[in-house]
Structure 1
């Protein structure tokens, strides 16, 4: 071995001896769960160089360092006292407990006078969204995770381009990883048309930007500060349920006409400011309708100090007295949520969870099967929806309270992704969503403990190993 090679080996060995323990120490000081911290410490100490690299890519806590940068303006600190506007709408006492929790956690007021329209699949949602863009007079703010450039996606690109040409302030924010699901990239086509577009945390090598774990999963479309859309749908042909595509996706989207649009536009503005450095002026006050639902946005993500969605969900589960519906494509909830679901069932609440029988992510489906036996044991009812893949996300409590939006019930949504849900305090809407859940259950099959118990030992091992990796799925 010549001197240069010996020097290189020594330098690499010294670097590995430093970065491995340094990464392990960082995990020890910043990880909130002991199991996660222990796993990363072991990886970094056993494989110093490779483990430290993996930790940098997938495990390092960028949450705190990005928190102040991401929020365009400081929100009001959480308060245990109800927000003034929340106690002035004359709603019934059955909402008091949930309102108190959400007031404290979100720091946002409840907004009255929102008319809500439920839109099933792309066949219903896309025409209404395109009509809103085509009728825009002042602003169009669009944020999405996946923006396909097939037929449906091109319709949105054409509508956004036409709005921009007639002088509407159009801005489009696409997740920097999500846009790689399609080719050509939508940002390229939008830029060619002159539409202002930005990519949220796109991975790059120069300068290094490898935070691939922190994704913007929010779905936001706000037109003229008055009409806002959110839910689980991305943009593309995959959400056309009546098409002949082999990988179709069933989902639900929501139109909110009223003051909630202002809150959603403010969320978009925060994300846009972080991505581009361009801070928008606060949106104008939207006009409430004489009759409509009380609503509020809940944002969650690695910029938040608290697990806001988790806390509001646990609050709603604790307040449930009769019935809970949970519809989600990915079900790997944190331990506190599992315990809350089981406790509700033990109180006599009918807890019904609807999951897809065929998941687009098989390893998530396998990991989920490892935890279902415990839920069944404590009286939770579980159902599998038949294909096509059900991407719907609904949470309904006692047919009086609902949450809808982009968040799944898994660690990625509740810890790593930037998500947006909307709270709905309205019996007619909650009853409609509960009836929709009943229709889903009617065509689903119920899962039994016996079925889970009949799994082959190899399947049990596979499911358990996937569950072990669930914090990183």
Structure 2
């Protein structure tokens, strides 16, 4: 047998290469909706026998197909009617806000899973210390349940503070569930996962195990969501992970900036539903939702909000579709604050078209970035928006991780999504669509403060840098979908 194998191993290798390559290429051609992605993957597979197919298995399969997902989505529509009654009607949007946002509500009703609801109260938590203190108070006052889902939960002073509060809640009888992304759990060594489990908390990792590895073939798919729901009454969401780098008290004046939100009202139930579904996917345990009060759609409660969940399952590119709709309805100004600005060609076209219509567009990115390769790649793309009238600003000071957007001082979009390929197509994200002038004003004030001292990026500056640097940035930009 050994002689046979030694004589014919090249034939077996060739056969394996043909079979795996053909299967991977067929899968890419049949499942990819973007012709550029399909062509690129087929090229990689054909030009790199076996290795290309293996790489496609790890990084190219973008959709988690979980039978329970579809079942829960259909059940959720019934849940809306049972617990909420009808969603915010078109007339309420027309009465309280500019007519341009009526089509935007229609977009959200069509592409998202959750209704727009009224009567929500959203409090901005403008820094890490404020956010962690508010979360700590909510955990200390929890009576029945806590569910926490996050990308990064470090085993540092900030993480251990939250962890110990969760443990204390568990000891007094509160049901505590913690879900951490399997990649994000590795940011801290040793991981917080073992600490939480040793203390008796129900703790799961999303899409893999910290020690034994990631879950194939979906190793490139992560939960980037940040959700905490306490007693089904109070929720926290936004862009902030749990780590001391965001705390001035623990990290000093060079601490990273971010923006988080404390929420009460009907959208809490929808944030709970998102976290509960992810928990079910990771653990197999179904969590029953608590009954919520009926909607208040009167003009006296005009804070309309909607949970927008997106990810490489049935909700793929939902955040992308919402952004396309928002850029299309903008009439006066668009304000964007993002740590990673790498939009695809469709979003760039929508922004450029808005600029050509006379919409004032400000895009704020950090001057100092925590991901150097991503920063170089997005710098290579700045000229595509600047030359058509968009303004790109480099915000000075410490790294700012906030993801904030406003349209015409009325519509806001905040949450976990970055404007990069990973957030738009690979990660599981959760954002809030908010229609409220007061909330939009708060977000715009946050942007205005960031603009103080910010440096405007110009075409002259971009084009007068050394050619080797610009070439290196373009090469990194080519690989931006995988950064």
Fold in common (TM above 0.5)? yes
Output the aligned Cα RMSD: 2.2
Alignment length (residue pairs): 467
| Alignment-derived partner of residue 169 in structure 1 | 175
Structure 2 distance, partners of 1:192, 1:343, is 55
Structure 1 distance, partners of 2:264, 2:250, is 29
Structure 1 distance, partners of 2:369, 2:454, is 14
| Alignment-derived partner of residue 130 in structure 1 | 136
Structure 1 distance, partners of 2:204, 2:119, is 32
Q: Kindly tell me: are residues 431 and 61 of structure 1, through their superposed partners in 2, closer, same or farther at Cα, counting changes over 3 Å? A: closer
Tell me if structure 1 keeps the 8 A contact 2:227–2:275: yes
Alignment of 1:48-67 (within 5 A): 48-63=49-64, 65-66=65-66
Q: Deviations over 1:153-172 (max 9, x none)?
A: 00111110111111111111
SS of structure 1 residue aligned to 2:418: coil
Q: Deviations over 1:75-110 (max 9, x none)?
A: 549xxxxx7433364423433121121111114222
| Alignment-derived partner of residue 158 in structure 1 | 164
Q: Where do 5+ consecutive residues of structure 1 fail to align? A: 78-82
Structure 1 distance, partners of 2:430, 2:258, is 16
Residue range with higher mean Cα deviation, 348-357 or 88-97: 88-97
Q: Kindly tell me: are residues 22 and 311 of structure 1, through their superposed partners in 2, closer, same or farther at Cα, counting changes over 3 Å? A: same
Structure 1 distance, partners of 2:413, 2:317, is 16
Q: Deviations over 1:183-233 (max 9, x none)?
A: 221121111111111111015869963522110000001111111110000
SS of structure 1 residue aligned to 2:430: strand
Structure 2 distance, partners of 1:38, 1:130, is 49
| Alignment-derived partner of residue 105 in structure 1 | 111
Q: Deviations over 1:274-316 (max 9, x none)?
A: 1111111123215878746211100000112552111111111
Q: Where do 5+ consecutive residues of structure 2 fail to align? A: 79-85
1:347 to 357, 360, 385: 357
SS of structure 2 residue aligned to 1:382: strand
Alignment of 1:26-425 (within 5 A): 26-63=27-64, 65-66=65-66, 69=69, 72-74=72-74, 75-76=76-77, 84-87=87-90, 89=92, 90-94=95-99, 95-202=101-208, 209-241=216-248, 243-244=250-251, 248-285=255-292, 291=301, 293-425=303-435
Structure 1 distance, partners of 2:426, 2:370, is 20
TM-score norm. by structure 1 comes to 0.93
Q: Aligned-pair distance for 1:413?
A: 0.3
Structure 2 distance, partners of 1:462, 1:113, is 50
Q: Kindly tell me: are residues 277 and 190 of structure 1, through their superposed partners in 2, closer, same or farther at Cα, counting changes over 3 Å? A: same
